Structure 1
Amino acid sequence: MAVSEKTRKIIWGEAGGRCAICRAQVVTPGTDCDDPSVFGEEAHIVARSKGGPRAGLLDDASIDSHTNLVLLCSKHHKQIDDQPGHFTVDRLLEIKAKHAAWVRSLGEATPGRLKLVPDPGFPQPRILKLITRGNPLWNMIKSSVTFEYALPDGLPEEDEDLILEFLGLVQDYYDIAADLHSVRENRDAEKVLQSYLSKLAEHNFLVGAFVRHMLLIDGSGQEGMAWPMLRVEVQPALLATITDENGRPYPSKQPSAGVHDEEQRA
């Protein structure tokens, strides 16, 4: 038995077109030449297959019911299936119910509804932290729910390709960070990031990053959802100003990316 079209409409309607875990919209806007991209998935709470996560708790007639499905982004669909010990049936039903209640509350919110505002519980970063090792960047990636970047224009093709490879790697690790659990997996990620930081330093580029703590609010007066945003910038070393943590430039000659610890800023 497959999921019916009516069931799909119920799932997407109850979820407001958003992942029940991260609440991100699961349809991206279209472009001037392409349709919108859909990365929402109707995930089974109790698996359809006998060997699947949380399997064996429902009869066949109920497996594809809307009560056994939850709308998730592709990242969190994989996470709940990889971590059934944490994402139990009861936990997923609770997540689904809370998300549906949140979506319903949006109808009572003020116009404009969802927006990001600075989290008053955290100081807002003013300058980028100079990143010279894989470990600090990896920790930033793991603690963030969204990612943005910047790179200079007018670069030689070789340099731009290297920077794009690095930023693509950051994006890939951001997408799978929740799925890497062992110390070995995390350490391997740090080493790969470190290798790209070293390559960029050899090409005279500095990498700066910070995590901006934001709140996603809906205008209903309810407490906002934490929404830490990772920003990564790659800039030519000759154009960057190295400062102390208060933003005061160092009087000495600007050093290369490979000789400073993360307490200094770019």
Structure 2
Amino acid sequence: MAVSEKTRKIVWAEAGGRCAICRSEVVTPGTACDDPSVFGEEAHIVARSKGGPRAGGLDAGAVDGHANLILLCSKHHKQVDDQPGHFTAERLREIKAQHAAWVRLSLEETVQGRLRLVPDPSFPQPRALALVVRGNPLWNMIKTSVAFEYALPDGLSDDEEAQIVEFLDLVKDYCDIALDIDSVRGSRDAEKALESYVGKLAERGFLVGASLRRMLLIDGPGQVGTPWPILRVEVQPASLAAVADERGRAYFGEQRAQD
């Protein structure tokens, strides 16, 4: 699996367009007759090829995920690949985390009070999760979303938690690559994979719920805002589930008719 366009955007956004080691901007200004020059590179923390630096320990699907990529300038990309003894996988993950924290702090200091998420007034905000029993509705939510959040219950056995986390990782992976799946066959394969996991969880007494919050990312007063749909997926025991109306009010039996 190659690095998807969405994954590249995540890597560049988290790094603030700067090398995680020297923190230099990795795009030079353009000129009157030429476009800007890009010398930033998405470097693998754990190598894709078996003979590459820091190879091993990740399956094929995770190797090209954004968690295994770090944005570097071309100079430092060459250095970390030539010096894997110093730039171990653990060291690079630490560098990436520290750099991401620095970027967040820098943004908070420069745009504090300006950049924010607000509900999109064009869409009603969900007050309840939709029960997921088929892959198609969940896949449609995944294709629409730009952010993902999840919840799982407490008190799980190790086996139950492993199965639920595997499903949530699958959802997150599809969120990362959804924009690159543009064929009907690819979409159907995704739907079937999701539906299979939902079915297996149901057999163990767990239900999957999902919602899509339509938000706007606004930078400063008077701005129109960028659509920012957030997908939320929860896995909960069926014994704790309650039927709710469109306003999120739980009801049982004849209660709905009395409202």
Shorter-chain TM-score tier: 0.5 to 0.7
In 1: Cα distance, 2:236 partner to 2:186 partner: 29
Aligned-pair distance for 1:25?
2.9
Identity of aligned residues (%): 57
Match of 2:38 among 69, 94, 98: 69
Q: 1:27 to 1:132 in 2, by over 3 A?
A: same
Aligned-pair distance for 1:239?
0.9
In 2: Cα distance, 1:72 partner to 1:66 partner: 18
Which residue number in structure 1 is paired with residue 211 of structure 2? 210
Q: Is the 8 A contact 1:127 1:247 kept in 2?
A: yes
Q: Secondary structure at the match of 2:13?
A: coil
Q: Is the 8 A contact 2:214 2:228 kept in 1?
A: yes
Q: Secondary structure at the match of 1:130?
A: strand
* Structural RMSD (CA): 3.6
Which residue number in structure 2 is paired with residue 27 of structure 1? 15
**Does 1:180 pair with 2:181?**
yes
Q: Is the 8 A contact 2:214 2:230 kept in 1?
A: yes
Q: Secondary structure at the match of 2:139?
A: helix
Q: Secondary structure at the match of 2:36?
A: helix
Aligned-pair distance for 1:112?
2.2
Give CA-to-partner distance per residue, 1:157-191, whole Å, 9 cap, x none: 11111100000000000000011011000000000
- The total of aligned residue pairs comes to 174
In 2: Cα distance, 1:24 partner to 1:211 partner: 25
Which residue number in structure 2 is paired with residue 139 of structure 1? 140
Give CA-to-partner distance per residue, 1:199-240, whole Å, 9 cap, x none: 010011011111001110111422111100000011000011
Q: Secondary structure at the match of 2:202?
A: helix
Q: Structure 2: which 5+ runs fail to align?
A: 1-6, 28-32, 43-63, 67-106, 254-259
1:55-204 aligned at under 5 Å gives the runs: 67-69=36-38, 111-204=112-205
Which residue number in structure 2 is paired with residue 95 of structure 1? none
Provide the TM-score with structure 1 as the length reference: 0.57
Which residue number in structure 1 is paired with residue 3 of structure 2? none
Q: Secondary structure at the match of 1:25?
A: helix
Q: 1:42 to 1:173 in 2, by over 3 A?
A: farther
Q: Secondary structure at the match of 1:232?
A: strand
The one-letter amino acid of 1:27's match is: A
The one-letter amino acid of 1:190's match is: E
Q: Structure 1: which 5+ runs fail to align?
A: 1-18, 29-35, 44-61, 77-105, 253-266
Which residue number in structure 2 is paired with residue 16 of structure 1? none
Q: Secondary structure at the match of 1:126?
A: coil
In 1: Cα distance, 2:114 partner to 2:10 partner: 17
Q: Secondary structure at the match of 2:153?
A: coil
